[in-house]
Amino acid sequence: MNKKKDFLRTIVENDLKSGKYKEIVTRFPPEPNGFPHIGHAKSISINFGIARDYNGHCNLRMDDTNPTKEDTKYVHALEDAVKWLGFDWGEHLYFTSDYFSQIHDYAIKLIKMGKAYVDSLCEDEIREYRGTVTQPGKRSKFAQRSVEENLDLFERMKNGEFKDGEHVLRAKIDMSAANMKMRDPLLYRIRHAHHFRAGDKWSIYPMYDFAHCLSDYIEGITHSICTLEFENNRDIYDWVLDTLELKPPRPYQYEFARLNINYTVMSKRKLLELVEGGYVSGWDDPRLPTIAGYRRRGYTPESILNFCDQIGIAKANSVVDVAQLEFCIRDGLNPKVPRVLCVLDPLKVTIENYEGSEELEAPYYPHDVPKEGSRKIPFSKEIYIEKDDFAENPPKGYFRLTPEQPVRLRHGYIISCKEVIKDENGNITEIKAEYYPDSKSGAEDTSGIKVKSAIQWVSVADAKKVEVRLYDRLFKNEAPEGIEDLNPNSLQIIKNAFIEPAVITEKPDERFQFERQGYFYTDPIDYSDENPVFNKIVGLKDSWAKKAKTKQTAPKPQPKKVQVDGEVAPMTDEQKILFEKYTNELRLNSEVSNTLARDKFLSNFFEDALCAFNCPVSISNIVVNEVARELKQAQADELKFSAGHISQLVKMIDADTISSKIAKQVFEEMAKTGENPTQIVKAKGLVQISDPAKISPIIDEIISNNPDNVAKFKAGNTKLLGFFVGQVLKKTGGKANPKVVNELVAQKLQ
């Protein structure tokens, strides 16, 4: 085995040597509530890779414990992703719902042992009773119920006799535990919702922490590998298995750092916002970091796995440069794909001293690629070249065609410019040229003419017109925070590009290098012989860094360092207390909690805003994103807005007065002027439109103006739903309620 040893493989090898397990069994346990992304690819490569390396097997298990968010389409997307990446679960496809009866039996056992009870506190009371990091919690009075009463109530919960939230089943552990997740965690909650597999059989569903460890045990998992945000959950994992005194061998949980990439968002919530808001064409939009998006763009599974292997498996979270992923894609394509000629922005060239036509022999691969194959390129009197391959007044160092400088046509002849034809506005429309008959590329060139470059071209009479989609990074900022950071130039569609005919007629491959342009892929959905469509996979080199450098006028302040000698700097005791409070008591995610805990100003600002309006998740997101961004540009005492302003802003979002997208606009105005957000919304007329009667006429107009897309949608291209939603949001300046728009558009297109 040539794979570099990581800490997980070290653990596995030690367990095998000690005889702890006879066979290694891992699992990939996604929740089917969205399309898998590049972060899932890393988890897939780790879990399936370890099982393969040690002659074990990996289970694919859908963690379908929340019927309100899950769907069969997400199950299929997850299965497709695993298969496409080259892994096979064989007979080992499972669903947590397969074990609902067994998990329920384990819950009954805990109740009979006096280790679980039915609690009737409301959600707010449960949160209040949990205590804080510095203060122990208080156990519910309902914990004193007898075993018989708990069994009766739990059975009635299962039978659907109670409303959602009326009761929960909790473990009885320790309300003063330092790890707040151990303070009588929830095991079951009531959900009157149809389950996509179990139907309406169950009215109660197990919580992740209870179902996960038991599913692992039932399946015989040996190493349950999770990302770092589940580190505190490990105590519950162990408590459940130990308390039930399950027969060994039992699984153990291990954590690794999740994958974060700059210029990229991988939050399911943010990805869903992009899809449902119409900012992208669907889950398989080639600009998204989803496996479906990468696949449609033309990325190869081998290159993605190579990337996952290169970045390794770490114990501390960090951010990977997206250029590293792009390098892996480029590096994987270079020795495989044929080189062809394509002109994206055509300029006509008439070669006045050439008559007739001929075919030029040209190899598909350069001399350093050990592959064979060639084609014949038609050559004639009229050709297209790229507009920027001619300069009437060339800058210094310009080596292409000019009035004084000849150039070689790739695989063909040398030409020189004789006359420049322009329209009435002074735009160049045609070049009159001449060719040198004895300059044919290769051994036949006896002209003795020296040229400094060769350019791509196609014959006007023979070239095939194609659509080319040039994809760039979806976000313009290295650490994108939301919709406002979208790159407006992330997609350029060229309808009238021209390509040499062999690409279409002979189809030597699905992926190509368009010489001097980049790597391209035949779009798997929209391509047809009548209307060929090509997606840009990646450029020939990383041009983004150069673009970013030229746009940057002054160095920006850098965030505070939190690493020492490559390791994350340890938190102080005070920071640890705050982190525990934010993650356990306020239920913020670990990344947000980490940012707040380490920055005293942000944590104080957050606490002040929370006092005015108790909505911790929404407030924290604005504080660690928008407020933190403003602090990079100004000192704290220079901020024109207050914590009270933030709480008012969140209150309007919570009340559906404004959308999240409009909230970004309001914040920007508030940051500039210091004006009250309520007044900004009123003055600018930014109140969210949720009335179907006001939205319906706009939808009708857009549907009427796009009959072709309506026909495609009804023919089965349901991804166009995002197009119609996006048009409505654009028409209303982002003020239409996306949820209402989605529902109405779906209804009207049926």
Q: What is the pLDDT of residues 58-116, one digit of tens each?
A: 999 999 999 998 989 999 999 999 999 999 999 999 999 999 999 999 999 999 999 99
User: Which structure tokens are listed for 451?
Assistant: 């040229």
pLDDT band, residue 133 (cuts 50/70/90): confident
The CATH code of the domain that includes 199 is 3.90.800.10
Pairing state between β 533-538 and 464-471 = parallel
In a domain, 392, yes or no: no
In a domain, 482, yes or no: no
Among all residues, which ones are annotated catalytic? 31, 258, 268
pLDDT band, residue 556 (cuts 50/70/90): very low
77 and 175 in a single domain? The answer is: no
- Residue 296 in marked binding region: no
Residues 505-555 pLDDT 10s:
999 999 999 999 999 999 999 999 999 999 999 999 865 454 555 444 434
The answer to whether residues 23 and 56 touch, using CB atoms and an 8 Å cutoff, is yes
Rounded to whole angstroms, the Cα distance separating 218 from 212 reads 10
- Residue 37 in marked binding region: yes
- Residue 51 in marked binding region: no
- Residue 39 in marked binding region: yes
pLDDT band, residue 571 (cuts 50/70/90): confident
606 and 699 in a single domain? The answer is: no
DSSP string of 69-83, one letter each residue: T--HHHHHHHHHHHH
The answer to whether residues 317 and 260 touch, using CB atoms and an 8 Å cutoff, is yes
pLDDT band, residue 733 (cuts 50/70/90): confident
- Residue 543 in marked binding region: no
Q: Report, as an integer, the average pLDDT of 545-566.
A: 42
92 and 231 in a single domain? The answer is: yes
In a domain, 434, yes or no: no
Q: Which helix (H) or strand (E) holds 666?
A: helix 660-673
DSSP letter for 489, please.
T
44-53, 260-269, 322-331, 617-626: range with lowest mean pLDDT = 617-626
Q: Residue 38 belongs to what domain range?
A: 7-99+208-257
pTM summary value: 0.73
In a domain, 388, yes or no: no
- Residue 208 in marked binding region: yes
- Residue 553 in marked binding region: no
The CATH code of the domain that includes 61 is 3.40.50.620
| Three-class secondary structure of residue 661 per DSSP | helix
Rounded to whole angstroms, the Cα distance separating 118 from 135 reads 24
pLDDT at 567 > cutoff 70: no
70 and 132 in a single domain? The answer is: no
pLDDT at 560 > cutoff 80: no
Q: Pick from 196, 226, 257: which residue ends a domain?
A: 257
In a domain, 449, yes or no: no
28 and 133 in a single domain? The answer is: no
575 and 715 in a single domain? The answer is: no
84 and 221 in a single domain? The answer is: yes
- What was the pLDDT predicted at 96? 98
pLDDT band, residue 2 (cuts 50/70/90): very low
- Residue 43 in marked binding region: yes
- Residue 338 in marked binding region: no
DSSP string of 278-343, one letter each residue: TSSSSTT-TTSSBHHHHHHHT--HHHHHHHHHHH---SS--EE-HHHHHHHHHHHHTTTSPEE-EE
87 and 212 in a single domain? The answer is: yes
Q: Report, as an integer, the average pLDDT of 20-30.
A: 97
- What was the pLDDT predicted at 119? 98
The rounded mean pLDDT for the chain is 91
pLDDT at 705 > cutoff 50: yes
Q: Pick from 631, 665, 684: which residue ends a domain?
A: 684
- Residue 63 in marked binding region: yes
The answer to whether residues 473 and 322 touch, using CB atoms and an 8 Å cutoff, is yes
DSSP letter for 486, please.
B
Q: Pick from 653, 684, 715: which residue ends a domain?
A: 684
- Residue 85 in marked binding region: no
30-34, 186-190, 409-413, 603-607: range with lowest mean pLDDT = 603-607
Q: Which residues pair with 459 in a beta bridge?
A: 383
- Residue 227 in marked binding region: yes
Q: Report, as an integer, the average pLDDT of 202-207.
A: 98
In a domain, 175, yes or no: yes
Longest dimension (CA), the chain: 102
Rounded to whole angstroms, the Cα distance separating 426 from 78 reads 55
27 and 72 in a single domain? The answer is: yes
Nearest to 409 by CA among 431, 429, 393: 431
- Residue 175 in marked binding region: no
| Three-class secondary structure of residue 175 per DSSP | coil
- What was the pLDDT predicted at 689? 87
Please identify which residue in the block is written with the tokens 């968010």.
69
Pairing state between β 346-351 and 57-62 = unpaired
Residues of the chain with pLDDT > 90, as a percent, come to: 70
Nearest to 25 by CA among 218, 207, 246: 218
Identify each DSSP E strand in 562-679 by its residue range. Answer: 563-564, 567-568
How many structural domains compose the chain? 4
The answer to whether residues 419 and 392 touch, using CB atoms and an 8 Å cutoff, is no
In a domain, 460, yes or no: no
Query: Per-residue b/e over 159-195, b at no fewer than 16 CB within 10 Å?
Result: eeebeeeebbbbbbbebebebbbbbbbbbbbbbebeb
- Residue 112 in marked binding region: no
Q: Report, as an integer, the average pLDDT of 175-200.
A: 96
124 and 182 in a single domain? The answer is: yes
- Alpha-carbon distances, residue 205 vs 113, 154, 319, 500 (angstroms): 21, 12, 35, 59
In a domain, 535, yes or no: no
- What was the pLDDT predicted at 392? 95
Nearest to 469 by CA among 483, 447, 448, 489: 489
- Residue 33 in marked binding region: yes
- Residue 714 in marked binding region: no
Please identify which residue in the block is written with the tokens 């640890």.
576
Share in percent of the chain as helix, strand, coil (round to 5): 40, 20, 40
My answer on whether omega of the bond before 249 falls inside 30° of 0, hence cis, is: yes
133 and 148 in a single domain? The answer is: yes
17 and 166 in a single domain? The answer is: no
- Alpha-carbon distances, residue 188 vs 125, 160, 335 (angstroms): 17, 13, 54
pLDDT at 565 > cutoff 50: no
